[in-house]
């Protein structure tokens, strides 16, 4: 029987609420993409780090990333004064998205509060910890301080600082050495309404030789008509020999949710991570992902799926960083764009000095479904060791009319045929999740997005 | 459901030029026809136009199914009428298994989705008919298939979708002797069991020796210039297209 542990957190009080600070005058410099490269701010008590973050928050501007004259990702339109953390009472019900799923544990944060925590009893007895991050800071202080912000900075831009200064609730997961856990841990961040400021933080640790599955869902539950913000930080540390399959499904729906987040995964000696973020909806998303292979023999498969539609703006920066060798990497992302959406995938392989005998490959494949959409892929490689192999590749695809005709002759309608093509395009990554319920969720969501864009896709086909 | 496919004075052009220049042909359910003709004479164009390929414009004439003009119907509606095309160059569908694709295609033509068990039985039956491995249907359709596998996959789809009238565009090309026999026997069986009508486009006598069509047509320069029975095939084999071309020119 799952038991409900972990008290839901409270929303930050008004006094510590972020105040907007936007200086008049010339626009600030755009933020350039660079690997975090181990720039962790941690190692101090939470109160100290929060204070530091608060100072950075006050001093910094809202971020903007600019790649060229006409392409930029800017959060400078965001009116922080109009946003506030929203408090909720505990909720015994499981979120809809987890219906029917078997879990090792579940943690749900609604807006600013953790409203639901459950952890398999037996796992709790064996030393697994799943609780709000607030609770972890108070009750598992030693563990918390050892890992919190080990790899994440807190002062690169205002939203990062806001997240580090003001996060509430939060998720903490610890899996002790040698424990193999079959069912996934599920962490859900929900935004329920416009005006919500959700400063989220997940800290997860797979100790030596442990094996786990972790899923994070970032979803909107209500109709988010007014602006809302998710500024999240995610960190996962896999100690020596640990193995994790991590999936993050971000789908803020068609509402006005902006999301500016950073996720980092550290892979220790002989550890392995299969990581798949799926970015399937959001008004404005900027996500920095960084996978750090920090120990010899560390290996990873870094997969990603993105699909932008309508007026969505999606900016992904994904880093495959190798600090030591021999190590392995395999980065493979796929993206599709419809409507007049803007999406960009910038992928960086960085191999530090001394990371000899590292082998890694980065590929991005895109599928254009509209002439008004833009989908850029910008791969780069930064190598500071000589005995390595690091390269990148990719393709740019469009709908193949011959393929559509072929399927039509088998009785499929045009939209059905398009759906098969697009699903088939993502399938090689989805099937690797090795997690049928999650796979189906992603397929279904892609199906819904396609259906919503079908008029658009038709227009595009006819215009060609 | 289609019991006859009638092509009347069909003229077809692409952006560049006219390819079919007045084709007349009738194929009924239960009949086996062969269509032969030199490279570039317009056989595949006819096959594709019958199915409604958007790249070919019908400028004159009609395609009738049971007397109804279908020239304006989209391809999937033609499939629903019971028409089928086995492609000369089947395309790959990455990420979609043969079995899953067939399930989609079958369900596209039904109100209720097909039952798992019924689908499984039909698939096993088709797999045996085409003599392919068990694993074949879980591979991605035509993705990395050899030439012969692609052709088998075409006939496998035909066996599953049970059309009334099928066009087989050089389904025999690229098959070794054993595969050719399997495919030909498959077609004959569907003809015998389901009353399949077929228009078999080919360059070779061999498949026709197995299938024994009752009607043979010869196409040249976008027209059907000669109709007959099996004796035409033998004549072609001996004399080649040049003699026929001369004869047609003389009688014109
Ligand atoms: N989509 C197209 N665009 C332009 N020209 C085309 C197109 N399709 C066919 N053609 C041309 O029309 C003519 C007939 O081609 P088609 O493929 O129908 O011949 P075929 O009889 O099937 O030949 P084969 O025996 O080589 O398969 C050829 O000259 C070909 O190049
Ligand atoms: Mg041809």
> Which of the residues A336, A409, A415 would you substitute to probe the B interface, choosing the one with the greatest number of B C-beta atoms within 10 Å?
A409
Best mutation site among B23, B34, B40, B217 for ligand 1 pocket (most ligand atoms within 8 Å of CB): B40
Query: How many angstroms from the chain centroid is the CA of residue A272?
Result: 18
Residue among A411, A421, A427 whose CB faces B80 most closely = A411
ipTM: 0.96
Provide the pLDDT for residue A29.
Answer: 56
Cβ-defined contact of B95 to A409 (cutoff 8 Å): no
Q: What is the edge-to-edge ordering of all strands in the sheet holding B4-13?
A: B18-28, B4-13, B57-65, B68-69
Six-digit token pair at A385? 């060791």
- A419 to chain B: which residues are within 8 Å by CB? none
Distances (CA, A) of B11 to A206, B6, B43, B54, B93: 69, 14, 13, 15, 31
Residue (of A247, A195, A194, A191) closest to A216 by Cα position: A247
Six-digit token pair at A363? 């590929």
Q: For every one of its 252 residues, what pLDDT tens digit does chain B have, with 9 covering 90 and above?
A: 789 999 999 999 998 899 999 999 999 999 999 999 999 999 999 999 999 999 999 999 999 999 999 999 999 999 999 999 999 999 999 889 999 999 999 999 888 999 999 999 999 999 998 888 888 999 999 999 998 899 999 999 999 999 999 999 999 998 999 999 999 999 999 999 989 999 999 999 999 999 999 999 999 999 999 999 999 998 988 888 998 889 888 887
Q: What is the CATH number of domain B4-89+163-251?
A: 3.40.50.300
Task: Find the ligand nearest to B42 CA.
Answer: 1
Q: For every one of its 464 residues, what pLDDT tens digit does chain A have, with 9 covering 90 and above?
A: 333 333 333 443 433 434 334 344 444 556 678 888 777 999 999 999 999 999 999 999 999 998 765 689 999 999 999 999 999 999 999 998 998 889 999 999 999 999 999 999 999 999 999 999 999 999 999 999 999 999 999 999 999 999 999 999 999 999 999 999 999 999 999 999 999 999 999 999 999 999 999 999 999 998 899 999 999 999 999 999 999 999 999 999 999 999 999 999 999 999 999 999 999 999 999 999 999 999 999 999 999 999 999 999 999 999 999 999 999 999 999 999 999 999 999 999 999 999 999 999 999 999 999 888 999 999 999 999 999 999 999 999 888 899 999 999 999 999 899 999 999 999 999 999 988 889 999 999 999 988 888 888 877 777 76
Task: Find the ligand nearest to B37 CA.
Answer: 1
Burial class from Cβ neighbours inside 10 Å (0-12, 13-18, 19+) for residue A397 reads: middle
Q: Quick check: CB of B134 below 6 Å from ligand 1?
A: no
For chain B, give every domain's residue range.
4-89+163-251
Residue (of B243, B229, B220) closest to B34 by Cα position: B229
């Amino acid at each position: 029987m799952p038991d409900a542990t972990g008290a839901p957190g409270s929303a930050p009080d008004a006094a510590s609420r972020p105040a907007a600070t936007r200086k008049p005058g010339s626009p600030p410099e755009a933020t350039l993409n660079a690997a975090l490269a181990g720039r962790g701010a941690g190692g101090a008590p939470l109160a100290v780090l929060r204070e530091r973050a608060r100072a950075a928050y006050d001093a910094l501007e809202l971020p903007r990333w600019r790649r060229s004259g006409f392409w930029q990702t800017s959060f400078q339109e965001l009116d922080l004064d109009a946003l506030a953390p929203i408090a909720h009472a505990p909720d015994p019900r499981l979120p809809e998205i987890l219906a029917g799923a078997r879990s090792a544990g579940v943690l749900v944060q609604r807006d600013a509060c953790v409203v639901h925590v459950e952890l398999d009893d037996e796992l709790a007895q064996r030393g697994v910890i799943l609780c709000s991050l607030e609770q972890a800071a108070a009750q598992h202080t030693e563990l918390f301080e050892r890992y919190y912000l080990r790899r994440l900075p807190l002062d690169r831009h205002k939203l990062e600082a806001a997240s580090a200064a003001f996060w509430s609730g939060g998720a903490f997961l610890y899996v002790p050495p040698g424990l193999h856990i079959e069912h996934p841990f599920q962490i859900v961040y929900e935004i329920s309404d416009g005006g919500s400021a959700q400063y989220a933080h997940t800290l997860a640790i797979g100790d030596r030789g442990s094996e786990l599955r972790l899923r994070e869902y970032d979803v909107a539950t209500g109709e988010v008509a007014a602006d809302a913000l998710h500024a999240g930080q995610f960190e996962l540390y896999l100690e020596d020999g640990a193995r994790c399959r991590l999936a993050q499904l971000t789908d803020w729906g068609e509402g006005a949710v902006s999301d500016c987040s950073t996720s980092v995964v550290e892979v220790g000696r002989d550890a392995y991570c299969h990581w798949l973020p799926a970015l399937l909806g959001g008004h404005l998303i900027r996500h920095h992902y960084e996978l750090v292979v920090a120990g010899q023999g560390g290996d990873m498969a870094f997969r990603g799926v993105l699909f932008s539609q309508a007026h969505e703006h999606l900016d992904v920066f994904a880093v495959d960083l190798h600090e030591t060798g021999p190590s392995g990497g395999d980065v493979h992302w796929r993206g599709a764009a419809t409507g007049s959406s803007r999406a960009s995938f910038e992928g960086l392989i960085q191999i530090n000095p001394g990371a000899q005998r590292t082998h890694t490959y980065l590929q991005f494949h895109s599928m254009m479904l509209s002439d008004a959409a833009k989908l850029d892929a910008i791969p780069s490689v930064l190598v500071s060791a000589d005995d390595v192999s690091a390269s990148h590749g990719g393709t740019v695809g469009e709908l193949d009319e011959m393929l559509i005709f072929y399927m039509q002759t088998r009785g499929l309608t045009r939209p059905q045929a398009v759906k098969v093509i697009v699903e088939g395009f993502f399938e090689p990554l989805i099937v690797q999740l090795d997690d049928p319920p999650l796979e189906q969720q992603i397929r279904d969501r892609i199906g819904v997005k396609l259906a919503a864009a079908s008029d658009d896709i038709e227009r595009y086909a006819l215009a060609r | 459901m289609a019991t006859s496919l009638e092509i009347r004075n069909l003229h077809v052009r692409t952006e560049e030029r006219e390819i079919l220049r007045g084709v007349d042909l009738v194929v009924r359910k239960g009949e086996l026809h062969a269509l032969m003709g030199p490279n570039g004479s317009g056989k595949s164009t006819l096959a594709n136009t019958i199915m409604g390929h958007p790249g070919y414009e019908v400028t004159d004439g009609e395609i009738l199914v049971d007397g109804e003009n279908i020239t304006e119907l989209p391809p999937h509606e033609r499939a629903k009428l019971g028409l089928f095309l086995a492609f000369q160059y089947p395309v790959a569908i990455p990420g979609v298994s043969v079995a899953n694709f067939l399930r989609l295609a079958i369900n596209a033509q039904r109100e209720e989705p097909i039952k798992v068990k019924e689908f499984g039985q039909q698939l096993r039956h088709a797999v045996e008919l085409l003599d392919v491995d068990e694993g074949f249907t879980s591979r991605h359709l035509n993705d990395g298939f050899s030439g012969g596998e692609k052709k088998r996959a075409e006939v496998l789809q035909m066996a599953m979708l049970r059309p009334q009238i099928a066009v087989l565009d050089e389904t025999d090309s690229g098959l070794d002797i054993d595969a050719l026999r399997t495919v030909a026997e498959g077609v004959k069986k569907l003809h015998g069991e389901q009353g399949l009508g077929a228009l078999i486009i080919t360059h070779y006598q061999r498949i026709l020796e197995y299938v024994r069509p009752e009607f043979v047509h010869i196409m040249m320069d976008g027209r059907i210039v000669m109709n007959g029975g099996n004796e035409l095939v033998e004549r072609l084999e001996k004399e080649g297209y040049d003699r026929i071309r001369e004869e047609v020119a003389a009688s014109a």
